[in-house]
Chain A
């Protein structure tokens, strides 16, 4: 879902920003025709709003909160929970930490988490981290998305900003965190300290770390099986038909 073209235009006028497509193109780094088409078609992606906000020096969260779908965006503390932060740590980094706890000389701790996000499965991991019960069904219902499509979006790391905000809204967590996770705003814009992932990893209890790794490995196992089945199916079909 994106913001409507007329709302976007009104927002530009309210903020005293030019409505010229070429000027907006220059500010956002998009082609002027692209921006013009977005406005004309009445569907302006959140990335354009954030791009314009950055270009003219407005806080992207404040800018998004000017639109109806995001008006409560900054109504909760921006700080993410530890589970949310850890959801954005790749399992390879989790395992490095586990090895370090086994033998700190043989396996020195990473000063920095090596793998950034979004990583493979990070959107799904974030939803799992904030899930209080039936968040997937609630998001699907509130955003008018088919539940099966939402599942495939999560598998493909293609959660949209409005889905992320809706998920946070129904689970009572920071609504800004979802936008950081889907990559609409940066960690800095979302008030995430630079070393937030490293800190969360270091203070994690052993049992929690092992449990999280186990969960991730289960997911990885399922994913590998699915990929293997997909490969076998595609190979069999091409061999039989071709």
Chain B
């Protein structure tokens, strides 16, 4: 009992401190040491590391090794989900800054963003503690029938949708207006990826109704969404590396 209270209190403290750190690192008055995160390459690198960590932690081999260290049963799943949610948050900040969307920035890293992030992480931890998950199971796959696990999964999806939703309009606008053809393609790819993610969060009741066997089909939607976003970012990276804007968009007077 005492051990459970200890784990819960430490868990919530970690969420609280993690949330505050994220807020501090991404706020306008950022300390010098965290300025790297303000640079686009720093944000992208952090997002890549977090996203990779989330996927790696969910691999059965790694998952079982980590389970031996983590004090609560299936705590690795909680860590993986926190990594994934933070990666989504960092991606959101990255795009909100790039598209100059004040609304998205406030939603993701303002006080409201911090509050939602902390509530989401707390919700994930709380539902994990409430659920009966004695055996290690990556993505809590063995316990998909439990109401708490369903809620746990939905919180992650809902937080993702919350972060991505305010970016839809800037993405859609850029997908139509970007003077660079590749830029339009990239924005449309990211937009498509976001739509898939939001659609999965909204269609979650359908997913529950379909039963545990449909879990991997719906997981496929998330994978397609991730692929679209990564491809979109990659296209932007290609455009930057090859200086395509400078090469394609002519500002000279020659009509030859």
Which of under 10, 10 to 19, 20 to 34, or 35 or more describes the interface residues of A?
Answer: 10 to 19
Name the contact of B249 in the complex, choosing from A90, A119, A230, A242 (C-beta under 8 A): A230
Chain B contributes a number of interface residues (CB within 8 A of A) equal to 27
- Near B by CB (< 8 A), chain A positions 207-242 give 224, 227-228, 230-231, 233-235, 237-242
A48 to B238, CA, bound (A): 41
Contact B250–A227 (Cβ < 8 Å): yes
A235 to B237, CA, bound (A): 11
Q: Which B residues lie within 8 Å of A239 (CB)?
A: 40, 240
Name the contact of B179 in the complex, choosing from A230, A240, A241, A242 (C-beta under 8 A): A230
Q: Which A residues lie within 8 Å of B253 (CB)?
A: 224
Given contacts A231-B245, A234-B179, A237-B98, contact A242 B251 (CB under 8 A): no
Chain B's nearest CB lies how many Å from the CB of A221? 11
Contact B180–A242 (Cβ < 8 Å): no
A121 to B166, CA, bound (A): 38
Main secondary structure of the interface of B (DSSP, over half): helix
Query: Quick check: is B143 within 8 A (CB to CB) of the other chain?
Result: no
Contact B236–A241 (Cβ < 8 Å): yes
Residue of B nearest to A230 (CB): B179
- Near A by CB (< 8 A), chain B positions 202-250 give 233, 236-241, 244-246, 249-250
Chain B's nearest CB lies how many Å from the CB of A242? 3
Given contacts A231-B245, A242-B236, contact A237 B183 (CB under 8 A): yes
Chain B's nearest CB lies how many Å from the CB of A214? 17
Query: Quick check: is B80 within 8 A (CB to CB) of the other chain?
Result: no
Query: Quick check: is A115 within 8 A (CB to CB) of the other chain?
Result: yes
Contact A235–B245 (Cβ < 8 Å): yes
Query: Quick check: is B108 within 8 A (CB to CB) of the other chain?
Result: no
Contact A120–B95 (Cβ < 8 Å): no
Name the contact of A115 in the complex, choosing from B233, B246, B255 (C-beta under 8 A): B255
B interface vs A, CB < 8 Å? 40, 94-95, 97-99, 174, 178-180, 183, 186, 233, 236-241, 244-246, 249-251, 253, 255
A interface vs B, CB < 8 Å? 90, 92, 115, 119-120, 224, 227-228, 230-231, 233-235, 237-242
